[in-house]
Structure 1
Amino acid sequence: MLFNELQIINWKKKFIEKEYINLCKYLDESGKNSLDNFIRNNSSIDISEEYMNKLISENKESGLINAFYYVFKRKVDFLWMGLFDFLSQKYSIKNENNKNLFYSDFNDGSYNNIIRQCRPDKNKYEYNSIVNIGFYNKNKNFLYKCYDDNMSSDYLKNEFSNEMKEVYNSITVAQAKSDFFLIASLYKEGGVSSDVCSICVSNISNIIKSSDISITFDGYGFNKRFLFSKSNNKLFKEYLYDLIEKLDHMGSNFDYNRFSSRNAFNDFILDFYVLNIDFFEKNNINFLPEDLFKSYVHDGISEEELSNDNQSSAISFKSLSKESWVKNDSIFYENTIVSDNYISNRNDNISVIGNDANPVISGQSQHSYAISSIDVVRMKNIALSGHACIWSNGRLINFETYLSFVAEDEYKNGFWKKPEKDSITRVIDDEVIIAFSAGYGCYGHYLVDDLPRLGAIKKHIGDDFYNKKFIIPKKTPKWAIDLLNYLLGIKEESLIFFDHENDIFHLNNVILSSFPSRHYKFHGFIKEFYDNIPRNMISDRPFKRICLSRKSWEKNKNNQRIFVQQDFFEEMATSRGFSIVRPETLPIQEQIDLMANTSCQVGEHGSAQHASVFNSYGMTIGTLNPLTEVQVNLGRIYNDKNFLCYHDETSVDSNNNYYFSIKEEKIKLFFDEIERHEEKKMNLIAPREMYRQ
């Protein structure tokens, strides 16, 4: 703690005395004399800025010289952030060559697998709330502990002393109380201490493995939002003492910004390093870049508003898959991880032709993301209503993906009923699989949501899959039934048809699976699933170039997307060697074989483009007027190259048809850029290198 000039001088003297011999290796006689004079007289370090700048420029990689420069510049209200730049680069976890990786839940036994959060200003969270906290349900290998004010106070008394409890209770700011408790318990037990207002979306093992300490940082410095450590760690011991000393110094003039704010924490880490360079060299320190950390833990307040009311809130599917146990009438009697957690690092797979009308889509590739494991759970006593609203013990199961939220919102808006005993239309005793979601009528949703989930169940239970019954809506399109048969071998006689507008089923035995995405950031299992489907005559070097046509969608319909330059676009595609394809006119097997042998596809935004999942090697994909990020995010797990071309003008007619227009010069540039990329790809000596990761 450095509050005044005298403390600063004593701190500087301590550093120079400790590192005197090592510093002298870098200094000339004038520099050494300045150190001697400082030690004798406790004055300022009498070295010129020019001398120090030259010293740091010649020794940028030296931790000692960076620390010395920091000491030289340090004042009560000023610190040199160049030391932060040095440390954050030297000890930063690096994304692994932009590759997509699978990773398992991890605990090597060297630390307590505990994740703790503290909410001193809220009532104690009971089980009904804790199951919906991401740090709990995404981390099967961790014990999650949530502390309220009384629990925190009792912990400090039992694990430390009554004095520590009194120190904690003397703090009047809730956030500061939480900070103090999290540091004390982290020092005592190790594991993870995390701020609230953060939502864990995937298992955190990957960002703490092989480390003794993990701390996040961004462009403003080190951040205490997420801290990992082994127990009895020197750094957090000294930080705890620092907080206690600050409280004593401040007295009644408490100042959170100087106590435990993120700025105060950053100051402590830098000051600590100066006197503990050897500590950093002997321990595995991992500083987590903001982009990488936010792949696993997002900002958000939704978990701060959780309700303990058993009947009012949904329950996360991931909590059901965390452990097997018995509660009331529902027995979760088997669960398995079918595919490990998944991380997709940032890449450069998107190019925009002309104006970028939707930077949210084009910016997808600039950020990494993590997806939790694909889990399969066998359960008893489940109810089914509406658009795949799945109920356990009176609570709606939330699969934490777009279609699950759609079904939940429809229920909340009164479209579907909550199951009651007198509303059940059918009870099924046989073990069944729910083979649809709220997007069952859309080809694209079927490809990226429903079929891979069934594939996960099939992978888990093997050939017994063919002995099960599959529930689908009565209004399921014929093409969807054909896909179930062709891709998964599900016969029509195995189907149970569900009237989603009127039926409510009670299922005594059911098998459920995770969705393979979160907000349409996809899990690598999708590619694994489609790589294993049957194909005919597949080339190891895809060569076809196709243009997906939407001409069969009549322009006099309502609520359609209509491309004004469609004829010009398709004529240009033909002149460039692209075959015009209307996928809906082809049998499923021909669609799959066509896509499997396609190197490049272009077309208007739509579900037909998602058939790129049938290509194992990756494609060049050109999309006109993309409306969502689905295709570019599929491209991340397939190593596709995506070219996006947005509209120049739009309009809507009286039938709510949406017209979009693209200038002919831009359409030509669109094809030019795609062909340049294709030429480069096809001229590679080893073609598979362009497709495979």
Structure 2
Amino acid sequence: MRHVETVDVTELAPACPLLDCLRDWRGFAVLDAASEARATDRWLKLENQPDAQWEWSGGIPAVAIPPIGCYFLRDIEISGSGYLFSGERFVRERTHTSDVAMNRLNENYPGNPLDHPRGHRVTVDEPLLMITGAGNPTYGHWILDFLPRLMIAQQLLGPVLLELPILLPSDTPPWVPRMLEAYCGVGPDRLRFYSEQDDAILCRRLCLPSFGHNGSYSMHSIVRDFYGGLADTIQITRKRRICLSRASFSDGRVFAARETFERIAQSRGFDIVRPEELGFAQQAALYRSASCIVGEAGSGLHGSVFSELGTVVASVGFNWVQAHVSGAFDQRFIYLERLQAVREANQGLQAFTATDADLVSLFDEIDRIQV
């Protein structure tokens, strides 16, 4: 395993007023000062032990959130899914996605630019905006990491942002431009794509918004305000209970009891839904209409950012990111941890199942706390 030299993004861009940052294209302009994310309530869980019973436990203590704003950087090279280099040093942002990228550089990971130097090197003199990174193809990362970065840039820069094209790797899913337009009003003409396999882009001037959390998904209030503002425009005529189906996904993770799980959900008055089949306005309305969301642990649950306070969010399997999300949005989180592995698979993926009795007990607990 190699050791990649790093530099913290804060070392490259000390705090200074926005006008100075724009004039010199160097520094960190603050949108909101450092704050403290409030502690979150306990969650209801059935632990993975034979004699475990449902109990309230856990919770997340109050943690520090760094200042929110935008970094203005010079001569940053971008490659892959968002590897950032200042000279030979990897630019570290002290967040989950940045640390994933750093770990990939230190390992023999497919597409590692240190092992596979890019043959097409391009220098871009015009200022660019970068919001993505490791996890770029994943819905949950767009909801929790990348969209809030764009929102932060919009709030800080105002009309100046209209002059900045947004740089995206070519493996960006086709639904992302539609998401950017639906939630942030950014049209496809603002997007610039590069090949994550072949290109190394030297950005003479790069605007890099900070994340809307502390790096471990304790959310800044600005993220809650952003999604709350979007959700407040949605008119809801009735509340419903929804079960998120992963039947159409093929990511290597197999829930052997999925049919039983969904059948029980339907018998308890849940609608089986596949959000990926809806437009983004419809997705937001779906989550806003939910009094309870139940599903397998995964990024689909993160759509609860559009749901109202007090919504019950239930997960088959523990999802620590969702625990933070539900805490930030004052939602009641419940999860079934007691699962049985069927087989191990590559990259940590596995086939798993749950007993009928435990699945029934999950819905019993949902009914109990929704009363």
Which TM-score tier does this pair reach, normalised by the shorter chain? 0.7 to 0.9
Does residue 83 of structure 2 align to residue 389 of structure 1? Answer: yes
Residues 477/654 of structure 1: CA separation in 2 closer, same or farther (3 Å cut): closer
Task: Output the CA distance in 2 between the equivalents of 1:431 and 1:365.
Answer: 42
Residue pair 1:312, 1:395 contacting (<8 A) in 2 also: yes
Q: Which residue is equivalent to 2:218?
A: 521
Q: Which residue is equivalent to 2:256?
A: 564
Equivalences for residues 486-635 of structure 1 within 5 A? 486-517=182-213, 518-533=215-230, 537-539=234-236, 543-553=239-249, 560-626=252-318, 628-635=319-326
Residue pair 1:385, 1:417 contacting (<8 A) in 2 also: no
**Cα displacement string for residues 567-615 of structure 1 (whole angstroms, at most 9, x for unaligned residues):** 2221221122111101111111110111122121001111111111122
Residues 643/387 of structure 1: CA separation in 2 closer, same or farther (3 Å cut): same
Deviation at 1:618, TM superposition (A): 4.5
Residue pair 2:121, 2:200 contacting (<8 A) in 1 also: yes
Residues 320/597 of structure 1: CA separation in 2 closer, same or farther (3 Å cut): farther
Residues 596/466 of structure 1: CA separation in 2 closer, same or farther (3 Å cut): farther
Letter in 2 for 1:397: V
Task: Output the CA distance in 2 between the equivalents of 1:444 and 1:335.
Answer: 27
Residues 620/369 of structure 1: CA separation in 2 closer, same or farther (3 Å cut): same
Residues 511/335 of structure 1: CA separation in 2 closer, same or farther (3 Å cut): same
Residue pair 1:346, 1:365 contacting (<8 A) in 2 also: yes
Task: Output the CA distance in 2 between the equivalents of 1:542 and 1:395.
Answer: 53
Q: Which residue is equivalent to 2:159?
A: 463
Deviation at 1:348, TM superposition (A): 2.8
Does residue 10 of structure 2 align to residue 338 of structure 1? Answer: no
Q: Which residue is equivalent to 1:439?
A: 135
Letter in 2 for 1:560: G
> How many pairs were matched up?
354
Deviation at 1:324, TM superposition (A): 4.7
Equivalences for residues 75-94 of structure 1 within 5 A? none
Residues 654/442 of structure 1: CA separation in 2 closer, same or farther (3 Å cut): closer
Q: Which residue is equivalent to 1:643?
A: 334
Task: Output the CA distance in 2 between the equivalents of 1:427 and 1:348.
Answer: 49
TM-score (norm 2): 0.86
The structure 2 residue matched to 1:315, chosen from 3, 7, 27, is: 7
Does residue 113 of structure 2 align to residue 416 of structure 1? Answer: yes
Q: Which has the larger radius of gyration?
A: 1
Letter in 2 for 1:410: R
Residue pair 1:466, 1:489 contacting (<8 A) in 2 also: no
Q: Which has the higher contact order (CA 8 A, sep 6+)?
A: 2
Q: Which residue is equivalent to 1:91?
A: none
Residues 505/547 of structure 1: CA separation in 2 closer, same or farther (3 Å cut): same
**Cα displacement string for residues 357-387 of structure 1 (whole angstroms, at most 9, x for unaligned residues):** 99xxx96515332221212122222221222
Residues 479/634 of structure 1: CA separation in 2 closer, same or farther (3 Å cut): same
Task: Output the CA distance in 2 between the equivalents of 1:543 and 1:356.
Answer: 35
Does residue 113 of structure 2 align to residue 426 of structure 1? Answer: no
Does residue 109 of structure 2 align to residue 399 of structure 1? Answer: no
Letter in 2 for 1:520: Y
Letter in 2 for 1:521: S
Residue pair 1:545, 1:577 contacting (<8 A) in 2 also: yes
Q: Which residue is equivalent to 1:480?
A: 176
Letter in 2 for 1:635: S
Residue pair 1:315, 1:397 contacting (<8 A) in 2 also: yes
Residue pair 1:410, 1:416 contacting (<8 A) in 2 also: no
Greater per-residue strand proportion: 2
Name the SS of the counterpart of 1:532 in structure 2.
helix
Q: Which residue is equivalent to 1:85?
A: none
Does residue 353 of structure 2 align to residue 661 of structure 1? Answer: yes
Task: Output the CA distance in 2 between the equivalents of 1:657 and 1:418.
Answer: 25
What are structure 1's unaligned runs of at least 5 residues? Answer: 1-310, 326-330, 680-693
Residues 356/318 of structure 1: CA separation in 2 closer, same or farther (3 Å cut): farther
Residues 486/372 of structure 1: CA separation in 2 closer, same or farther (3 Å cut): same
Greater per-residue helix proportion: 1
What are structure 2's unaligned runs of at least 5 residues? Answer: 18-23
Structure 1 vs Structure 2: percent identity of aligned residues?
Answer: 25
